Amino acid sequence: MKCTIHSARELVPTDTQYGKRYSCPVGGCTVVLWDGSTSTPADYATRQARMEAHDYFDRLWHSGVFSRKRAYKKLAAYLGLSKKKTHIGHFDHQQCTRTIDFCKTITETKKEVEL
Protein backbone atom coordinates (compact mmCIF):
# COMPACT_ATOMS: atom_id res chain seq x y z
CA MET A 1 0.00 0.00 0.00
CA LYS A 2 1.33 3.40 -0.95
CA CYS A 3 1.05 6.77 0.76
CA THR A 4 -1.76 8.91 -0.66
CA ILE A 5 0.42 12.02 -0.40
CA HIS A 6 3.81 10.57 -1.32
CA SER A 7 2.60 8.03 -3.88
CA ALA A 8 6.03 6.60 -4.54
CA ARG A 9 6.52 5.63 -0.88
CA GLU A 10 5.34 2.32 0.56
CA LEU A 11 3.63 2.47 3.94
CA VAL A 12 5.75 0.88 6.67
CA PRO A 13 4.10 -1.68 9.03
CA THR A 14 4.45 -1.48 12.81
CA ASP A 15 2.92 -3.93 15.30
CA THR A 16 0.86 -2.24 18.03
CA GLN A 17 -1.41 -3.49 20.80
CA TYR A 18 -4.35 -2.70 18.47
CA GLY A 19 -2.99 -4.55 15.45
CA LYS A 20 -0.73 -3.69 12.55
CA ARG A 21 -0.45 0.02 11.73
CA TYR A 22 1.00 1.22 8.43
CA SER A 23 2.45 4.72 8.16
CA CYS A 24 4.34 6.82 5.66
CA PRO A 25 8.11 6.87 6.25
CA VAL A 26 8.41 10.52 5.14
CA GLY A 27 9.08 12.72 8.17
CA GLY A 28 6.07 14.81 9.17
CA CYS A 29 3.62 12.88 6.97
CA THR A 30 0.52 11.84 8.88
CA VAL A 31 -0.90 9.20 6.51
CA VAL A 32 -1.83 6.04 8.43
CA LEU A 33 -3.68 2.82 7.64
CA TRP A 34 -4.72 0.03 10.00
CA ASP A 35 -4.46 -3.62 8.99
CA GLY A 36 -7.48 -5.25 7.38
CA SER A 37 -10.24 -3.78 5.30
CA THR A 38 -11.64 -1.42 7.95
CA SER A 39 -9.88 1.71 6.69
CA THR A 40 -8.08 3.35 3.82
CA PRO A 41 -4.95 5.52 4.08
CA ALA A 42 -5.79 8.92 5.54
CA ASP A 43 -4.01 12.02 6.72
CA TYR A 44 -4.36 13.35 10.25
CA ALA A 45 -7.34 15.64 9.52
CA THR A 46 -9.27 12.84 7.83
CA ARG A 47 -8.51 10.40 10.64
CA GLN A 48 -9.80 12.93 13.17
CA ALA A 49 -12.94 13.49 11.06
CA ARG A 50 -13.52 9.72 10.87
CA MET A 51 -13.26 9.38 14.64
CA GLU A 52 -15.71 12.23 15.16
CA ALA A 53 -18.13 10.85 12.54
CA HIS A 54 -17.98 7.40 14.14
CA ASP A 55 -18.64 8.91 17.56
CA TYR A 56 -21.77 10.70 16.31
CA PHE A 57 -22.93 7.67 14.33
CA ASP A 58 -22.47 5.28 17.26
CA ARG A 59 -24.37 7.62 19.57
CA LEU A 60 -27.19 7.76 17.01
CA TRP A 61 -27.81 4.04 16.84
CA HIS A 62 -27.06 3.47 20.54
CA SER A 63 -29.79 6.02 21.32
CA GLY A 64 -32.36 3.64 19.83
CA VAL A 65 -33.58 5.99 17.10
CA PHE A 66 -32.49 3.31 14.62
CA SER A 67 -30.98 -0.13 14.89
CA ARG A 68 -27.34 -0.20 13.78
CA LYS A 69 -28.31 -1.93 10.52
CA ARG A 70 -31.06 0.59 9.75
CA ALA A 71 -28.78 3.52 10.65
CA TYR A 72 -26.20 2.31 8.11
CA LYS A 73 -28.94 1.84 5.50
CA LYS A 74 -30.24 5.39 6.09
CA LEU A 75 -26.73 6.85 6.06
CA ALA A 76 -25.96 5.07 2.78
CA ALA A 77 -29.07 6.55 1.17
CA TYR A 78 -28.28 10.01 2.56
CA LEU A 79 -24.73 9.90 1.15
CA GLY A 80 -25.80 8.29 -2.11
CA LEU A 81 -23.60 5.25 -1.51
CA SER A 82 -24.23 1.54 -1.64
CA LYS A 83 -24.44 -0.21 1.74
CA LYS A 84 -21.16 -1.94 0.89
CA LYS A 85 -19.40 1.43 0.39
CA THR A 86 -20.84 2.91 3.60
CA HIS A 87 -17.93 2.38 5.97
CA ILE A 88 -16.69 5.40 7.93
CA GLY A 89 -13.12 4.07 7.86
CA HIS A 90 -13.20 4.54 4.08
CA PHE A 91 -14.78 8.02 4.07
CA ASP A 92 -13.06 11.18 2.96
CA HIS A 93 -13.27 14.36 5.03
CA GLN A 94 -16.41 15.65 3.25
CA GLN A 95 -18.26 12.36 3.74
CA CYS A 96 -17.40 12.49 7.44
CA THR A 97 -18.77 16.04 7.70
CA ARG A 98 -21.99 14.95 5.97
CA THR A 99 -22.24 11.94 8.31
CA ILE A 100 -21.97 14.22 11.35
CA ASP A 101 -24.64 16.55 9.90
CA PHE A 102 -26.91 13.56 9.24
CA CYS A 103 -26.51 12.27 12.80
CA LYS A 104 -26.97 15.69 14.41
CA THR A 105 -30.15 16.36 12.45
CA ILE A 106 -31.73 13.06 13.43
CA THR A 107 -30.57 13.24 17.04
CA GLU A 108 -31.80 16.83 17.49
CA THR A 109 -35.17 16.35 15.80
CA LYS A 110 -35.70 12.63 16.46
CA LYS A 111 -36.93 12.52 12.86
CA GLU A 112 -35.56 10.99 9.72
CA VAL A 113 -33.64 13.22 7.33
CA GLU A 114 -35.43 13.91 4.06
CA LEU A 115 -33.54 12.04 1.33
- Look at residue 114 and tell me if it is in a domain: no
One domain, residues 37 and 50: no
One domain, residues 61 and 36: no
How many separate domains does the chain show?
A: 2
Q: How many CB atoms within 10 Å of residue 89?
A: 16
One domain, residues 23 and 57: no
Q: Which pLDDT value is given to residue 72?
A: 94
49: which residues sit within 8 A by CB, 6+ positions away? 91, 93, 96, 97
One domain, residues 55 and 5: no
pTM for the complete prediction?
Answer: 0.73
Helices (H), the chain: 44-62, 68-79, 93-109
pLDDT tens per residue across span 45-59: 888 999 999 999 999
Q: Give the residue numbers spanning the domain of 3.
A: 1-41
- Look at residue 115 and tell me if it is in a domain: no
One domain, residues 29 and 76: no
